[in-house]
Structure 1
């Protein structure tokens, strides 16, 4: 399906991309703590909402 060169390129690209994303995130970590304070609560309530919808689906399916 893919040639060997394409697979090597894809693996290399993914590794480099992840490393660059880690580097950039670490560099901006101080700014993230200032500007995105409280964002974990939003994630928590979003996941809670999805969980409640899933439970409602299971209860109404029976």
Structure 2
């Protein structure tokens, strides 16, 4: 399906992307703490909302 060169490139790309994202996040960590305080609650609420919709879909399907 994929050649060995393509797989090697994909692995190298993923590793490099993760390393760059870690460095970028660590560089801006003070700004994230200042401006995005409380965003975890928004994420939790969004995940709960999606879970409720999924539960309703399963419940109403039966």
Query: Is 1:45 paired with 2:57?
Result: no
Q: Give deviations 1:9-57, integer Å, cap 9, x for gaps.
A: 2211111111010111111111000111110111011011111111111
User: 2:16: which partner in 1?
Assistant: 16
- How many correspondences in the alignment? 62
Q: What TM-score does the superposition give when structure 2 sets the normalisation length? A: 0.87
What are the equivalent positions in structure 2 for 1:25-40 lying under 5 Å apart?
A: 25-40=25-40
User: 1:5: which partner in 2?
Assistant: 5
Q: Any stretches of 5+ residues in structure 1 without a counterpart?
A: none
Q: How big is the alpha-carbon RMSD for the aligned residues of Structure 1 and Structure 2?
A: 1.1
Q: What TM-score does the superposition give when structure 1 sets the normalisation length? A: 0.87
